[in-house]
Amino acid sequence: MYACTDKKRQELRVLETSNVTLETIGAAAQPLDAVVVGAGFAGMYSVHRLTRQGLSVQCFEAGDDVGGTWWWNRYPGAQCDVESLEYSYGFSEELQQSWRWTRKYAAQAEILAYARHVADRFDLRRHIRFGARVASVAYDEPQRLWTVVLATGEAVRARFVLMGTGNLSTPRVPDIPGLADFKGTWIHSSRWPKGEVDFTGKRVAVIGTGSTGIQIIPVVARTARQLVVFQRSPNFVVQAFNRDLDPQGVASYKAKYPQMRERARQSELGVADIDMPTRSALDDTPEQREARYEALWQRGSHPAFLCAYNDLLVNKASNDTAAEFVRRKIRAAVKDPKVAELLCPHDHPIGAKRLCAGTDYYETYNRPNVKLVDARAHPIEKITARGLVSGGVEHEVDVIIFATGFDAMTGALREIDIRGRGGVALAQQWSSGPATYLGLMVAGFPNLFLITGPGSPSVKSNVILSIEQHVDWIARCLDDMRRTGQGLIEADPLAQAQWVAHVNEVADRTLYPQTDSWYTGANVPGKPRVFMPYVGGIARYRRHCDEVAADGYRGFRLQPSGVAQPA
Ligand code: NAP
């Protein structure tokens, strides 16, 4: 069993925040009701919901403000690709009526301003300690308490822990030899320095052409003297057609906001403004398909494009028709046929990797200062003092931008030393891939909740909507436990195994698992290959979670308060 030694106790200092003095381990003072890890959209809403329920809550955030992914990812061109009116909280009618989005797809700064507004409006900051990185979270079985220790050594105890650590928050810098020798500047997209980075007159390399790279590349190309893009796998990119929102359109949307939110909750993807198709792509003639794809292309929405037909993500032949439509768009946009061909993806079904939405991404390759390097045929061999070597050629640059992605979905949880019953490490328990019950809890880790964890719709949905659903479910659960005198809730291993099997079974009916992507962990060398999100649809998932709760938390083990635990 994990035990806190006397020496460790001495190392742990009293942790003080503006509103609450937290006790050291072993002190007699009352532990907190809940610790929330992370102050992104998940952590913020958790703090709001639980404090309104009368619970004592402390949130720890490694960054120095709220916003999570939108605080960290301030690279040039960063913007959302879910429409602003939908990618926002729905819990407060006053909030959604008063906040004014200016763009169809909000840029990072606007979303961060929104997060700050929410923190101020709901007075969340007094429960959040910034610049506080959580190092470990350990379960003390006899006490039935979690001990949360910061990187500074300070600690606090709580009955419940909510992990709002995000699914795309552990950046991945590939292990390319020589990086330490590089004399220029290198930056990972999600650790972007505060303030503008001026590329004027600079020679810049971008490694990576996922959702991040395709946003950075057109913006940097405008000012850099020379931009070299290292593309290992081309991605499908639909035009975002971002634009200013028209006030009248916003007013009429806001007039039906509650209905639109409800529609989103009852949808497949957590997005209200998409009609689910009933036809197969193969039911239409080539001309009909072309017209349908073109209309949806013009709409500028990646989920809408993938909802052109009902079988694009389950039937390869149908998928090929959509993929070929986008390849034709690429060939039309890019003047040099060789470059166009290199940009055309052939290695995965469209949508099986995250479909990107960009602004003039392909057109950027027509600029004379932009060069595309095939890093599949010529992998980056090493980094030198002056630049990068690929295919035996040295590309001299002043700045290297790593748009190389994340250790997704499990990275942030594995970075923290989380130990459950018997001192078992979560990282160890997940050594063959993550296993959860409903993406909410892990067997052996009582009273510890994941928000949008693996095995839930999470990244395959409008994530703010999924965050609200999880936090509402957890808040209801804690309230039910209080009312019924329960002190402990834990996923049943059998229910967890059945849920994991269901998640896999649903995924196996689609084209997702066959594709190398961060959804399957394939982007991180050595990571177990498991398709992690739940793709059974938002409405179905929500209904199931509600039924589980209504059925006395079926599949969870509950124990009354005050019952001693076996050591
Ligand atoms: P990503 O999709 O994982 O893309 C990483 C890119 O880096 C890939 O092109 C990858 O190539 C490349 N790469 C990695 N190691 C490399 C190496 N050694 N040599 C050459 N290339 C290498 O990461 P991301 O672009 O940061 O996006 C991650 C997710 O964040 C997105 O899918 C999306 O969910 C979210 N996101 C959303 C938005 C938005 O809302 N607009 C914006 C940005 C990100 P391979 O494909 O060959 O591995």
Check residue 478 and give its pLDDT.
Answer: 98
Ligand 1 atom nearest 233 alpha carbon: 47
Sign, CA torsion 75/81/86/87: negative
Q: In angstroms, what is the span from residue 9 Cα to ligand 1's centroid?
A: 42
Verify whether ligand 1 is closer than 6 Å to residue 211 (CB atom): yes
pLDDT in tens, 319-333: 999 999 999 999 999
Ligand 1 atom nearest 82 alpha carbon: 40
Instruction: Report the 10 Å Cβ neighbour count for 285.
Output: 8
Helical (H) or strand (E) element with 494: helix 493-508
Question: How large a percentage of the chain has pLDDT more than 70?
Answer: 94
Q: In angstroms, what is the span from residue 236 Cα to ligand 1's centroid?
A: 12
Closest C-alpha residue for ligand 1 atom 43: 212
Verify whether ligand 1 is closer than 6 Å to residue 171 (CB atom): no
Among 354, 374, 464, say which to mutate for ligand 1: greatest number of ligand atoms within 8 Å of CB: 354
Verify whether ligand 1 is closer than 6 Å to residue 373 (CB atom): no
DSSP state of 180: G
- Neighbouring residues of 5: CB distance < 8 A, sequence distance ≥ 6: none
DSSP state of 416: S
Q: In angstroms, what is the span from residue 524 Cα to ligand 1's centroid?
A: 11
Between 486 and 9, name the one with better pLDDT.
486
Q: In angstroms, what is the span from residue 387 Cα to ligand 1's centroid?
A: 21
Output the six-digit token pair for 236. 């499908």
Look up the pTM and report it: 0.94
pLDDT confidence bin for 175, thresholds 50/70/90:
very high
Among 75, 404, 461, say which to mutate for ligand 1: greatest number of ligand atoms within 8 Å of CB: 404
Q: What is the CA radius of gyration of the chain?
A: 24
Verify whether ligand 1 is closer than 6 Å to residue 403 (CB atom): yes
Verify whether ligand 1 is closer than 6 Å to residue 83 (CB atom): no
pLDDT at 3 over 80: no
Verify whether ligand 1 is closer than 6 Å to residue 405 (CB atom): yes
Q: In angstroms, what is the span from residue 209 Cα to ligand 1's centroid?
A: 6
Check residue 273 and give its pLDDT.
Answer: 87
Q: What angle, rounded to 10 degrees, do the helices at 247-255 and 257-265 form? A: 70
Report the C-alpha gap between 267 and 80 in whole angstroms: 20
Report the C-alpha gap between 266 and 261 in whole angstroms: 9
Verify whether ligand 1 is closer than 6 Å to residue 213 (CB atom): yes
Verify whether ligand 1 is closer than 6 Å to residue 210 (CB atom): yes
pLDDT at 563 over 90: no
Instruction: Report the 10 Å Cβ neighbour count for 263.
Output: 15
Verify whether ligand 1 is closer than 6 Å to residue 407 (CB atom): no
Instruction: Report the 10 Å Cβ neighbour count for 545.
Output: 20
Ligand 1 atom nearest 523 alpha carbon: 48
User: In a 3-state reduction of DSSP, which class is residue 523?
Assistant: coil
Closest C-alpha residue for ligand 1 atom 31: 211
pLDDT in tens, 474-497: 999 999 999 999 999 999 999 999
C-alpha angle 286/289/291, rounded to 5°?
110
Buried b (16+ CB within 10 A) or exposed e, 474-486: bbbbbebbeeeeb
Output the six-digit token pair for 274. 């998409």
Mean pLDDT rounded to a whole number for the chain: 94
Strands 380-383 and 387-390: antiparallel
Verify whether ligand 1 is closer than 6 Å to residue 212 (CB atom): yes
pLDDT at 18 over 80: no
Check residue 24 and give its pLDDT.
Answer: 43
Q: In angstroms, what is the span from residue 195 Cα to ligand 1's centroid?
A: 23
Average pLDDT over residues 230-244: 98
pLDDT confidence bin for 196, thresholds 50/70/90:
confident
Average pLDDT over residues 273-287: 95
Closest C-alpha among 498, 499, 476 to residue 489:
476
Ligand 1 atom nearest 379 alpha carbon: 19
Report the C-alpha gap between 461 and 343 in whole angstroms: 27
pLDDT in tens, 53-106: 999 999 999 999 999 999 999 999 999 999 999 999 999 999 999 999 999 999
Q: In angstroms, what is the span from residue 175 Cα to ligand 1's centroid?
A: 15
